[in-house]
């Protein structure tokens, strides 16, 4: 992965002012349909999950808490035996294909050896146990998904397609040729068509959004061979030398590193498919990796921009300030700049500049195209300093974590929760409208309130 020099890149406090990463359970347990997530933590973790995932009370959740009591933290109880009791109940009641343990801050502090316990219990129970650490000490909000996918990648079956492979057990002869003669005489089109462009995409997306991206690549004659995560643990994609992989989210750097170093895959470094501009660039980069000339992408992008005209009129010339929460900030900011917005600052909890190199370069090119300065990028921003800068800049909108929304609103700054972008469908051509819907909603509300206030003042003057 190449690096890029970003002149406006800064790093402040080193603290994560974000949502807790164990919340990744909220979308991952729905995506991996035959899984069960077990969060190993304290009552505080349980309270957080109850509140954060309270909207799903009518669903049948496949996650639970293994609450650490005083006997656990003081080493009076045997960790393996206690976890075994819980996992036996999970296997009996839910019959999952995989149990995923989510480590928390407490398991880090007391040095619980989850990776050592898991293989022994896996042998006893006969159910795969994947260990992922999603503690808030080391990881920001969406990096919880990153640790789960990196751990899951180790369980993917091995595949090596660096050399053509032949199914001699299926086809013994073709037109009277023996297997050895067949290898020398079979046309290239007959040599394992599926091995030519073997592509695996990684990142958790709703099934309908994943299908949309599959279809967009299909239009370019590229078949997606699998997704990580897959809808079922038993259908994990094969990985190995010669397999191309490409991410759909900017916070999956650990997964990308695991796929390259441990599974020997070839990473396609591309901007991320957020907004019509990002989606086109993402598809073009994949096509380039396979030596395919993209067809009809510019027209496809132009049609999407044309359908967004009403939203573009609202955001054009408006300013936005990203405080930093979900690590999607660079991609969303790049799209909003392309929409005509002014981005003062992009706060982001953590950024791997190698993994996001293509996105950062795309951001710079977008700023040059729109003739606007490159925004300041601040990793691990200090919220106090950010508020001071907001007072000076007076942005029209702040995209922020939930903890700061109400205080900022009280200070007269319109806000949008960054967590909404995490749970919304924002990838691909057809979902660009949803991104702008989220951004324009507070701007419309502010406009209506301003108009209402003016009408009230006008009436008061008329009555006097």
User: pLDDT digit string (tens) for 210-238?
Assistant: 999 999 999 999 999 999 999 999 999 99
pLDDT number for residue 170: 31
319-322: strand order across its sheet:
9-11, 376-379, 342-348, 319-322, 397-400, 415-417
Annotated binding site for [4Fe-4S] cluster: 20, 45, 105
Biggest CA pair distance of the chain = 103
Cα 326 to Cα 4, 22, 175: the distances in Å are: 22, 13, 58
- 80 located within any domain: yes
Distance CA 278, CA 387 (A): 30
- 297 located within any domain: no
Of 92, 119, 139, the one marking the end of a domain is: 139
Q: Which of 33-42, 57-66, 295-304, 400-409 has the lowest mean pLDDT?
A: 57-66
- 185 located within any domain: no
Of 139, 160, 185, the one marking the end of a domain is: 139
User: pLDDT digit string (tens) for 156-208?
Assistant: 999 876 543 333 333 333 333 343 443 344 333 333 444 467 999 999 999 99
CATH of the domain at 111: 3.40.50.1980
- Residue 246 φ then ψ, to 5°: -145, 135
Range of the domain at 406: 305-453
Beta strands in 44-86 (DSSP E): 63-67
- 417 located within any domain: yes
Annotated binding site: 20, 45, 105
- 191 located within any domain: no
pLDDT number for residue 9: 86
* Number of domains present in the structure of the chain: 2
Q: Which of 31-35, 109-113, 230-234, 265-269 has the lowest mean pLDDT?
A: 109-113
Of 139, 155, 187, the one marking the end of a domain is: 139
- Short-list 416, 363, 411, CA closest to 390: 411
- 354 located within any domain: yes
């Amino acid at each position: 992965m190449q690096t890029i020099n970003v002149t406006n890149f800064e790093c402040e406090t080193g603290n994560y002012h974000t949502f807790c990463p164990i919340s990744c359970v909220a979308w991952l347990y729905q995506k991996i349909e035959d899984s069960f997530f077990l969060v190993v933590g304290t009552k505080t973790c349980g309270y957080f999950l109850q509140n954060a995932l309270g909207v799903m009370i009518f669903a049948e959740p496949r996650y639970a808490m293994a609450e650490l009591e005083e006997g656990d933290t003081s080493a009076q109880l045997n960790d393996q035996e206690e976890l075994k009791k819980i996992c036996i109940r999970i296997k009996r009641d839910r019959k999952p294909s995989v149990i995923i343990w989510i480590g928390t801050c407490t398991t880090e502090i007391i040095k619980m050896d989850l990776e050592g316990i898991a293989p022994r219990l896996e042998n006893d129970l006969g159910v795969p146990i994947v260990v992922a650490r999603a503690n808030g000490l080391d990881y920001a909000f969406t990096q919880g998904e990153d640790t789960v996918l990196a751990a899951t990648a180790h369980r993917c079956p091995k595949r090596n397609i660096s050399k053509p492979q032949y199914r001699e057990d299926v086809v013994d002869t073709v037109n009277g040729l023996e297997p050895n003669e067949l290898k020398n005489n079979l046309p290239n089109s007959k040599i394992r068509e599926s091995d030519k462009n073997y592509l695996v995409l990684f990142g958790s997306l709703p099934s309908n959004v994943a299908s949309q991206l599959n279809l967009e690549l299909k239009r370019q004659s590229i078949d997606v061979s699998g997704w990580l995560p897959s809808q079922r643990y038993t259908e994990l994609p094969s990985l190995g030398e010669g397999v191309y992989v490409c991410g759909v989210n900017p916070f999956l750097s650990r997964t990308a590193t695991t796929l390259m170093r441990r599974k020997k895959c070839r990473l396609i470094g591309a901007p991320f498919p957020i907004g019509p501009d990002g989606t086109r660039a993402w598809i073009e980069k994949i096509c380039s990796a396979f030596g395919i000339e993209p067809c009809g992408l510019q027209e496809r992008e132009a049609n999407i921009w044309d359908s967004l005209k009403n939203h573009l009129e609202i955001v054009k010339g408006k300013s936005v300030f990203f405080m930093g929460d979900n690590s999607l900030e660079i991609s969303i900011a790049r799209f909003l700049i392309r929409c005509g917005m002014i981005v003062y600052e992009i706060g982001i909890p953590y950024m791997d500049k190698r993994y996001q190199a293509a996105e950062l370069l795309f951001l710079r090119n977008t700023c040059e195209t729109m003739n606007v300065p490159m925004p300041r990028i601040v990793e691990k921003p200090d919220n106090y300093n950010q508020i001071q800068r907001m007072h000076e800049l007076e942005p029209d909108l702040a995209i922020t974590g939930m903890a700061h929304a109400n205080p900022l609103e009280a200070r007269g700054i319109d806000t949008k929760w960054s967590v909404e972008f995490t749970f919304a469908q924002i990838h691909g051509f057809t979902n660009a409208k949803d991104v702008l819907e989220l951004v324009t909603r507070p701007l419309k509300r502010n406009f209506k309130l301003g108009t209402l206030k003016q009408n009230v003042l006008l009436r008061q003057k008329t009555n006097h």
